[in-house]
């Protein structure tokens, strides 16, 4: 008989019991909801290690420590024209040069005035002292003095280019890597303008042997550098220094 069951449900609702959806009593009591299906198990992702760097790939620029990006003007260092057989890399030049050092430009000084063969024809030179920070080959003092042609002269024998012009073009503190040999220039010294202590060695650079650093760029001081050649390096002067050490030039 259905009447008592319906009255009981009404009484429970009135007393505040939570109302539930009435199930038709004609539904068999044994009926139950179908079992829930389990979600398929997703396989865990395996950790894939990153690929190892290829040692044959060149060092990227982002891995290099840039030098100060100084403004440089090497025009005055390139006033002489050289007749020579160019070498393919700094490593080759280091093997043929007695002194290879890295450092910073300390200053420019007025050098000797020399009469070189023609009476009355006098040549002016400037000196670039380099404060040595690393020696790759050969013995060297803390300062290495390189000689450069100062350039032409006015009729009153005053040089067209002043020492201050050289200082502005290659400021003090500029990083430099030089491949040099003792100066063997001939001629009569008319005037010693530098006033260096007696016995101070003076050096001349190979035409490819003055490398200046500007950021991660290597600038040829006396000769232009092809950026696609072995004279350039993604890490600038630091990269070339690393290569020289790897070639066995470590101060011997």
> Which structural domain range is residue 149 located in?
65-246
Which residue bears the tokens 């002269």? Answer: 153
Model confidence at 51: pLDDT above 50: no
Report the chain's mean pLDDT, rounded to a whole number. 81
CA atoms within 13 A on the CB side of 20: 7
Residue 199 lies in a domain: yes
Residue 46 lies in a domain: no
Model confidence at 228: pLDDT above 50: yes
In the chain, how many domains are there?
1
- Higher model confidence: residue 123 or residue 9? 123
Model confidence at 50: pLDDT above 70: no
In this structure, what DSSP letter does residue 53 have?
P
Cβ atoms of 110 and 121 within 8 Å: the answer is no
- Can you tell me the distance from the alpha carbon of 40 to that of 48, in angstroms, rounded to the nearest whole number? 24
Residue 4 lies in a domain: no
* Of 20-24, 188-192, 207-211, the least confident: 20-24
- Please write the tens of the pLDDT for every residue from 151-197: 998 887 889 999 999 999 999 999 999 999 999 988 999 999 999 99
Residue 120's pLDDT is: 80
Residue 226 lies in a domain: yes
Residue 106 lies in a domain: yes
Residue 119's pLDDT is: 82
Residue 181's pLDDT is: 97
Residue 154 lies in a domain: yes
- Please write the tens of the pLDDT for every residue from 23-48: 433 434 444 444 545 544 544 444 44
Which residues make beta-bridge pairs with 148? 126
Residue 251 lies in a domain: no
- Higher model confidence: residue 98 or residue 27? 98
212 token code pair: 């200046």
Residue 21 lies in a domain: no
Residue 252's pLDDT is: 62
Once rounded to an integer, what is the mean pLDDT over residues 188-208? 95
Segments of the chain assigned E as strands: 99-105, 109-115, 122-137, 143-149, 175-182, 188-192, 202-214, 217-220
223 token code pair: 């000769």
**For the chain, percent of residues with pLDDT exceeding 70:** 73
**For the chain, percent of residues with pLDDT exceeding 90:** 64
Whole-prediction pTM value? Answer: 0.73
């Amino acid at each position: 008989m259905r009447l008592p069951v319906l009255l009981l449900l009404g009484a429970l609702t009135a007393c505040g019991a939570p109302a539930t959806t009435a199930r038709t009593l004609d539904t068999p009591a044994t009926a139950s909801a179908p079992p829930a299906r389990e979600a398929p198990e997703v396989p865990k992702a395996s950790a894939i290690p990153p690929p190892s760097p290829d040692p044959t790939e060149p060092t990227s620029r982002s891995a290099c420590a840039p030098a100060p990006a100084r403004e440089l003007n090497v025009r005055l260092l390139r006033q002489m024209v050289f007749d020579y057989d160019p070498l393919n890399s700094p490593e080759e030049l280091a093997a043929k040069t007695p002194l290879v050092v890295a450092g910073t430009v300390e200053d420019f000084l007025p050098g000797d005035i020399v009469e070189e063969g023609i009476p009355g024809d006098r040549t002016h030179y400037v000196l670039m002292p380099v404060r040595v920070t690393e020696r790759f080959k050969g013995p060297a003092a803390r300062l290495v003095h390189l000689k450069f042609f100062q350039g032409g002269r006015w009729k009153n024998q005053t040089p067209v280019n002043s020492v201050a012009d050289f200082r502005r073009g290659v400021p003090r503190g500029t990083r430099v890597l030089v491949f040099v040999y003792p100066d063997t220039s001939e001629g009569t010294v008319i005037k010693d303008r530098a006033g260096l202590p007696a016995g101070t060695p003076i050096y001349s650079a190979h035409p490819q042997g003055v490398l200046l650093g500007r950021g991660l760029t290597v600038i040829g001081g006396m000769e232009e550098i092809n950026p696609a050649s072995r004279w350039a390096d993604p890490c600038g002067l630091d990269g070339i220094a690393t290569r020289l050490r790897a070639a066995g030039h470590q101060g011997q």
